[in-house]
Chains A and B, each alone.
Chain A
Amino acid sequence: MVNIAELQAYGYFTLTILLVLALYGYIYHLYSTKKDVDGVDYESYSDMALKDDIDDTPVSPKSDKEK
């Protein structure tokens, strides 16, 4: 008979496998596309820290109205 603890253990194991697949899928996605949906290279996001004065231009402005 399957008891609740055993069920939990199998559930836990399955979830782990799924999350591992998701994580590797994400790695593959990042390194194959290199750019996000807005066409910004992921690496250029470092500039959000390096150019962070209030009048620096954002890497990808939230709205087109921004200067």
Chain B
Amino acid sequence: MLQIKNLHAGVEETDILKGINLEVKAGEVHAIMGPNGSGKSTLASVIAGKEEFDVTQGNIYFESEDIAELAPEERAHKGIFLSFQYPVEIPGVSVTNFIKTAINENRKAKGLEDMPANEMLKMIREKAEMFEMDRKFLSRSLNEGFSGGEKKRNEIFQLAMLDPKLAILDETDSGLDIDALRVVANGVNKLKSNKNAIVVITHYQRLLDHIVPDFVHVLMDGKIVKTGTKELAYELEERGYDWIKEEAKAV
């Protein structure tokens, strides 16, 4: 589904990603771990099409198509979704109106009519319930004054509404308490199928107890320095990242 080959990207003079290779197949869950500032969010943003970053080398293929030239919304229409580490506050636009707009924009891109209002409402209610969000929440301005946990829950609500092929969750677990984490993780698991894929960016093992990864990658200084299975996540939790740094140096 997603193939990243020798990806180099950065801003102006600084390289942030320095040769990333990654392949994610349908039905798989990948975890990306790594110290702060190693380039995890940058990788997520580059996949989603953020123009601020220049791709200087390498390619990103989504379903065998090179997506380098596609705008973020075109990538979204193809089925790429990014749950933001820091969701943006947009006053004056309610969660409901925002998601309606997003859904209908995606439908328009596929040549479909707007979703009938009652169908939309039903779907919104259903998904909101799934993440234990109350009605009042839906009429509030998007992310404005939301707690960290509410913002993340709202991201996953959008994920559920848009039902993408590839979901990239950037530190969705930070700011969530144990109960919220369980609710969110259960929701994500319900959405999982053999047709879609999930990339989970996290610092902590605890999310991976709920969303179990097939592969764990360690990103350091813009490169994937180690790939393993879910056991690697336990090891990282226990031993930190220094030993990997040493290992990488030795190679």
- Chain B associates with chain A: no
Binding site for B on A (CB under 8 A): none
